[in-house]
Amino acid sequence: MESTKISDVDHHRIKSNGIWIHVAEKKGQGPFVLLLHGFPETWFSWHHQIDHLASHGYHVVAPDLRGYGDSDSPPPPTSYTMFHIVADLIGLLDHFNQQQVFVVGHDWGATAAWHLSLFRPDRVKGIVALCVPFFPRDPHINPTLFFNQSFGDQLYISQFQEAGRAERGFAKYDHLSVIKKFLLINRTDVMIAPPGMEIIDDLEIPSELPPWITEEELQIYADKFQESGFTGGLNYYRAMDLTWELLAPWQGSKITVPAKFIIGDKDIGYESFSKPYIESNVMKTLVPDIEVVILDGHHFIQHEKPQEVSDEITSFIHKVASR
């Protein structure tokens, strides 16, 4: 089914950092652009942008991050820190003989893109992050404790911490229903389940699909997660505290590469996290060379507003490349 969506996309599995990573590649003659997906998605989340960027001459590579799709899924949650993910990405860049690239990330892919830019700014020409800003590291409290204290243990992030818990909840539904519950989310509040309820049970499936996604596209995701399961993706949440511990040497470090941050004004994290963070200029302090774009839309903005997102990416790349 995937081949019916995007023409001329090459698929490979590449050995990187000791595991096999699946990538979708569409070659142009221009700059190299790395596209990083979030939860619960695969490389396919970028299918609109892959076609758009390649048609503008860019060399586009969109991997399934470790734990997803056709990439390997190491069993322990400790294998999903941002250090592991960035190491995978450096291996991919080395495979393609790319010294410096543009990186675009959404959700956990945005977090990975920020950390690639933090650890190896020499390998990044510019970053476009969707929906998840670069947050400062709190030296006094780890992420799960912060989220529990701020939102309670019914926050989806808190529920995802316990090994097997979310998987048991998801298993009550078919894979397509799980995908629909997440990708079609239109609530603007932080995802907190009522007392005694799992977050997957609290998420609703709309009676009609929105115009920006098809049943066939949703089924592509469902088929992949039926093969891979959801544990790999959930392990990113379970590795947050270990990433926080290992990040201590980077306490207070800034992102020095050119950056653009794109978010929908109805994103689940916009009002609670991103808006005050942007308006207080904390983001500008941590990422001095940043442009912020707020679109009319929700969390899966590259699906919902594909042309606007694609145009924002290409305009940013053109601006940075012409400096």
**Helices (runs of H) and strands (runs of E) counted in the chain:** 16, 8
The answer to whether the CB of 61 falls within 8 A of the CB of 23 is yes
Domain that holds residue 108: 2-321
pLDDT of 8 reads 86
The residues that are catalytic are 107, 237, 299
**Mean per-residue pLDDT of the chain:** 95
Among 5-9, 53-57, 82-86, 298-302, the range scoring the smallest mean pLDDT is: 5-9
pLDDT category at 30 given cuts 50, 70, 90 is confident
Nearest-angstrom CA–CA distance, 57 and 215 = 30
Q: Is the pLDDT of residue 6 over 70?
A: no
pLDDT of 323 reads 86
222-257 pLDDT, tens digit each: 999 999 999 999 999 999 999 999 999 999 999 999
Number of domains the chain contains: 1
67-95 pLDDT, tens digit each: 999 999 999 999 999 999 999 999 999 99
Query: What is the Cα Rg of the chain in Å?
Result: 18
153-170 pLDDT, tens digit each: 999 999 999 999 999 999
Q: What is the pTM of this model?
A: 0.97
pLDDT category at 2 given cuts 50, 70, 90 is very low
pLDDT of 1 reads 33
The answer to whether the CB of 63 falls within 8 A of the CB of 25 is no
pLDDT category at 117 given cuts 50, 70, 90 is very high
Distances (CA, A) of 49 to 41, 54, 305, 308: 15, 8, 11, 10
When comparing pLDDT for 320 and 136, which is higher? 320
Nearest-angstrom CA–CA distance, 184 and 81 = 27
pLDDT of 5 reads 53
Tell me what the mean pLDDT of segment 122-151 comes to: 96
pLDDT of 3 reads 37
Read off the CATH number of the domain in which 217 is found.
Answer: 3.40.50.1820
Tell me the two tokens of residue 40.
Answer: 């619960």
204-219 pLDDT, tens digit each: 999 999 999 999 999 9
Tell me what the mean pLDDT of segment 115-125 comes to: 98
Nearest-angstrom CA–CA distance, 79 and 238 = 10
Nearest-angstrom CA–CA distance, 102 and 123 = 9
HEC secondary structure over 133-191: CCCCCCCCCCHHHHHHHHHCCCEHHHHCCCCCHHHHHHCCCCHHHHHHHHHCCCCCCCC
Nearest-angstrom CA–CA distance, 297 and 186 = 9
SS3 state of residue 65: coil
